Amino acid sequence: LGPTQDDVTALACSKASGSGLDMNIQALASMKSYFKKRGFALTKDNEKQAQLPAASHMIVNHNGTAPGFYMKINKCMFFFMPGVPSEMKLMFEREIKQILTNEYKLNDDILIERLTVFGLAESRVGSLLEGFETKFPRMRLGFRADFPVIEVKIILLDSDKDNQNAKFDMTKAKQWAVSQLENKVVSTQGLSIAQEIGHLLTKEKKTLAVAESCTGGLISNMVTDVAGSSDYFLFSGITYSNDAKMNILNVQQETIIEYGAVHEQTALEMAQGARLKGNADYAISTTGIAGPGGGTREKPVGMVCIGLSGPSISMARTYRFSFGDRLRNKKIFAMMALELLRRHLVSTAETS
């Protein structure tokens, strides 16, 4: 749904239902209120969005201008929402879910647990969890891929969410699933890896700095997407050029000359420099070749060197990925750096 002339959704729906288009007073008032709060004038083009099928019911848009609407045609209910994800998702959660629950008396008594998996393809995750529904017949699995992460949903149907037996069964199922997934579960609470790291750093009262080259700030963005990250995130340096690596992070000129920008020694010195610059407990760094060009036989596209510096660790690792896509490479480089840190934090917490 939107204000432009190519959006004929409401018109098509009015014709399909045999009802005309009317200016919906509630929708118009909602739009006027939205524009007034933001200091904009409501134009005629935008008023078009308040013209809804006469037989429809308006749905409030809490996060944008285009009102949604729903109606029944014969025995089928139709829902129309704006395509902007933030608007659509909020509209569904706040309005449509309740309408559906009331209309169809949906069972909302479902217990769901989520696992966040990194380092396995979706097909491999499915294969490793084969036999789950035989072992746990009251449950089923759901999968969602958001490269490079797989979310596994464990769903227990027809059970009181607060029932202790149901919770016990879910715990057993979750433990079994984690044991099958080859140590690739980064969160047993369905959290992102950045959220998980935030919890670990907060628990241990530790801080973090980041030095990025090939990831261009993506790690820092992921870390600061987590509310409360200011408690532990101290410094970010996007040192793309060799000069920046040397001048800001104190990477030795001899290191760049002898090894080049993409090398474990360079990554290590970047992490050490970021830790010192930010006065942080831990620092991670990335330097690599995201592509699609710039690779060589010795240093191909998809190669990344990741450094990690902390109170009891100073190391760098090289990884090679086969993705030809630049954005995918950047995403997996960033995730791998965070995963290297997460694993160290977990091992440190287990031994302390």
pLDDT digits 0-9 by tens, 305-322? 999 999 999 999 999 998
Q: How far apart are CA 230 and CA 202, in angstroms?
A: 11
- Three-class SS state of 224: helix
Domains and CATH numbers, the chain: 9-104 (3.40.980.10), 111-187 (3.30.70.2860), 193-351 (3.90.950.20)
DSSP, residue by residue, 89-144: HHHIIIIIHHHHHHHHT-----EEEEEEEESS-HHHHHHHTTTHHHHSTTEEEEEE
Check pLDDT > 90 for residue 249. yes
pLDDT of residue 158: 67
For residue 82, is the peptide bond before it cis, meaning its omega torsion is within 30 degrees of 0? Answer: no
CA dihedral 321, 327, 328, 331 (to 10 degrees): 90
Q: Which of 306, 313, 314 is nearest to 338 (CA)?
A: 306
**pLDDT, the chain, mean:** 93
Place of tokens 């029932």: 163
Q: Categorize the per-residue pLDDT at 230 as very low, low, confident or very high, splitting at 50, 70 and 90.
A: very high
Q: How far apart are CA 52 and CA 68, in angstroms?
A: 9
- 297's CB contacts (< 8 A; 6+ apart) are none
Give the mean pLDDT of 258-283: 98
User: Residue 209: what are its φ and ψ, rounded to 5°?
Assistant: -130, 155
Q: Categorize the per-residue pLDDT at 102 as very low, low, confident or very high, splitting at 50, 70 and 90.
A: confident
What are the tens digits of pLDDT across the range 9-44?
Answer: 999 999 999 989 999 999 999 888 888 888 888 877
Q: Categorize the per-residue pLDDT at 160 as very low, low, confident or very high, splitting at 50, 70 and 90.
A: low
User: Residue 119: what are its φ and ψ, rounded to 5°?
Assistant: 110, 5
Q: For 25, how many CA atoms within 13 A lie in the half-sphere containing its CB?
A: 0
Q: For the whole model, what pTM was predicted?
A: 0.83
Asked if residue 35 lies in contact with residue 42, where contact means CB atoms within 8 angstroms, the answer is yes
Q: Categorize the per-residue pLDDT at 108 as very low, low, confident or very high, splitting at 50, 70 and 90.
A: low
Give the mean pLDDT of 63-85: 92
